[in-house]
A and B are shown apart, each in its own frame.
Chain A
Amino acid sequence: QSVLTQPPSVSGAPGQRVTISCTGSSSNIGAGYDVHWYQQLPGTAPKLLIYGNTNRPSGVPDRFSGSKSGTSASLAITGLQAEDEADYYCQSYDSSLSGWVFGGGTKLTVL
């Protein structure tokens, strides 16, 4: 069971908008620790998608955006494309565990 909670799956049609939630607690997201997001395409290593809640590394399309409020964070993907089909993970730091924590991952299916 992961410290950060994500829905196991989400889906959307090409062109649509989807959001993926990431819920934590008072020892991680709620304590003010920033949230980062990673995309893992099938059979590949994770890739940084969003850092510091809202920032995109160079090369990441602006279709991807992040937000954080209270003990939760969200990743939004607009204008869904077939190539977005992947697993998405949120990540933060947990002061009770004194370690880095991930969500359980969300599988995005483009219908």
Chain B
Amino acid sequence: EVQLVESGGGLVQPGGSLRLSCAASGFTFSNYWMHWVRQVPGKGLVWVSRINSDGSSTSYADSVRGRFTISRDNAKNTLYLQMNSLRAEDTAVYYCARVTYYYDSSGYTAVYYFDHWGQGTLVTVSS
């Protein structure tokens, strides 16, 4: 059974840092791209960042680029999100998610979708 368990959330002051972890089990972690998605309580889902299977390629939403860093340790089956220069608007539940892909009708473009999600960890940025 695929399991994703986030940890590391908590209360942090504006300008502070926090590192989230996502422990993966039940599948070959090193074969999959992974993402972070966040959700302000009571609001919608927002994509944050993604990393490819060997960690050599990453991308970020504009709102976090330059402040957040996604990484992974395939030997430890763990995904990370280092969050620096935190702002009140970063307050949210952070989910890690595994993606699976298929090729679209053209046969050339890989289409990724979130097939498994963790339970989330709450990050609160407040003084």
Contacts and interface: CB of A to CB of B under 8 A. Distances in A.
Q: How large is the interface on B (under 10, 10 to 19, 20 to 34, 35 or more residues)?
A: 20 to 34
Interface in A1-54: 2, 32-34, 36, 38, 44-48, 51-52
Secondary structure class of chain B's binding surface, majority of residues: strand
A32 B111 CA distance: 11
Contacts, number: 60
Q: How large is the interface on A (under 10, 10 to 19, 20 to 34, 35 or more residues)?
A: 20 to 34
A51 B113 contact: yes
Interface of A: 2, 32-34, 36, 38, 44-48, 51-52, 57, 89, 91, 93, 97-105
Interface in B81-123: 95, 102, 104, 111-120
Interface in B33-49: 35, 37, 43-47
Contacts of B118: 45
